[in-house]
Structure 1
Amino acid sequence: MTTRKPEELEGVTLLGNQGTNYLFDYAPQVLETFPNKHTNRDYFVKFNCPEFTSLCPQTGQPDFATVYISYIPNEIMVESKSLKLYLFSFRNHGDFHEDCMNIIMNDLIE
């Protein structure tokens, strides 16, 4: 039984979708959010992605990294499946992973 109203989940389209489209190029539009029901308290949300890859802009070879994301949500939260698909979209993106981390941070803050 859910405590969420259908209108709170309108922006969550990827979760439970068996026809997931995997994007191989940087795709910030894949990020989805939903309302934080617990804005009255501060708490951490953490995601770990041990298999992040982008392409080295110098060699074109995969640049591997482990990404740790931790945030205290305000009004909205990032839906985790959309975050995984978003991180996967960097697979063919040509940037050092250090640069990708700043792109990711900017996208999540927006």
Structure 2
Amino acid sequence: MSRNKEELEGLTLLGNKGTKYDADYDPGLLEAFVNKHQDRDYMVTFKCPEFTSLCPMTGQPDFGTIYINYVPDVKMVESKSLKLYLFSFRNHGDFHEDCVNIIMNDLKELMDPKYIEVRGDFNPRGGISIFPFAAWGRPGTRYEEIAQNRIFAQLDRRENW
């Protein structure tokens, strides 16, 4: 199914040749469009292997990979806006755990998905790697239990590293 002009209304970044890359955290960059397949559950996955933010204490850059999985309901995040949003963390000073939770909360607010999880695989600094994971499922649905199970499944996965 192709999209008509009405369905693409409100997407201001897609196809824009004069893309501006904000280096300061800005959730206002996120844009959404209507899910054409609301009659079924399916998973959307994004991988951002070049995520960068700053250590809030030292100002030194932190590098890692961000993974986002979600089950959409009515709205979906537009991928170019997501790319620009993730890039906006470049000069943002926050701990890894905070970045992962901020990303999840911003996407949850934008889309109101049935389920969402965000995982960070951050490169070691000072000899330690950090792998924060946050999951949320719509309360009162099976997704709420799935979110809890996924959080504890991460513990099992990490024991085998």
Match of 1:40 in 2: 39
2:80 equivalent to 1:81? yes
Structure 1 moving runs of 4+ over 2 Å: none
Match of 1:103 in 2: 102
Report the Cα offset of residue 3 of structure 1: 2.2
* Residues matched between the structures, number: 109
Measured in 2, the distance between the counterparts of 1:55 and 1:3 equals 40
Report the Cα offset of residue 5 of structure 1: 2.3
| Larger of the two Rg values belongs to structure | 2
**1:34-72 deviation per Cα after TM superposition (whole angstroms, max 9, x unaligned):** 000000000010000011011001110001111000000
TM-score, length of structure 1 as denominator length:
0.95
Return the letter of the residue paired with 1:74: D
Which consecutive residues of structure 2, in runs of 5 or more, have no partner in the other structure? 110-161
TM-score, length of structure 2 as denominator length:
0.66
Larger strand fraction of residues: 2
**Secondary structure, in 3 states, of the residue corresponding to 2:103?**
helix
Larger helix fraction of residues: 2
Match of 1:18 in 2: 17
Identity among equivalent positions (%) equals: 73
Q: CA RMSD in A?
A: 0.9
Measured in 1, the distance between the counterparts of 2:95 and 2:62 equals 7
